[in-house]
Chain A
């Protein structure tokens, strides 16, 4: 593998909400233009790890660097799609205004202008929701809302795109579309995606990390035995047909 400078460095990071440790002694680096899938059991700390990288949480121990600086200082570099897109669903807000949030303080300019609206329309076409700009967010389907949130993340022109289970409420055809879009975006952006979805792990990502209090980082798109052992089993939707050996290495395959 060619040596690419890391955009994210996680150095001996530990974090706990209460007494129980959520994450302990995590150390890994994410190189530039990586496409990383984070898998792991529920409650294993995937979302927590993402919030630490985004600077929304502070580690109790260790440090995280984004392009050599603290995540809080670099927060605008991120495009973030949170896990729960149904939060605040009764809020009186139109799709356009949600996506425009991604343009807040864009390149230092205050307020929203014509170009921002133009860009939102482009992004809506790109994410497969053209013409919905004046619809209320509560009138959309969960899958459409998911796309609105992806468009909002992209509106910030981020260098690093972080998605927390972005396909949870999208149908199979929609998933393929979204993964293809992410693959295109990966030409210029670093992408981290939390997913339980085998499809994305097998055919789109460049590396896989299993997070369950600790981390097992694997710089190939495979799930290794170690991952399965550390998480008892990583809850990947293992489907038998297709090419399972691409996903799961067999014993003695080293």
Chain B
């Protein structure tokens, strides 16, 4: 057990970096929560965890797909990042279509007077009694950045867990019988999902409901969540590495 920990210290460091990236990435995603579902706050109308998980798990799938053909880490990370960015971008485009043509509101931010990217005035278009609505350009760009970081973090965790398993002699690709599958891939994937959820919930408590993106004043709180995630992920990495190292013995 101790040998497994010291032998895989580099992978544990990478898992921790991945967890920290996921935690940071959540702050970029424009989350509106329940108010946004009623077009009363800027952002996508669901919770942080659902959005981060949706994008991050897509990134995990696309990273895993890339691992079919190569074990080149930058390529796998890029694949994970692009998968998550596509997922979050599609979510935001469809959300914007619904807000603009369905609800009938102008995408506008209540946190800044002018959009930092397009320089368009925002405050004139915010409906009374709301905290903005829809997804202005800056939130969209921020969301895509968040998706990319989350995808990199998730695929880094997954890749590291697979490498830990391979260091104890398990196969990365192996038999794919219809129902039994590959134990290493399954355990690494579910651990990556577990670490992803832990690191998506911690920053969502830091944000406290809604955030518009990197221009939101709440974004400055990210160091707190990142420090918390760092400590929590180190614990998770120890647990995950030991469990996967034990897989080699069965």
B and A form one assembly: no
Q: Which residues of A contact B (CB under 8 A)?
A: none
Q: Which residues of B contact A (CB under 8 A)?
A: none
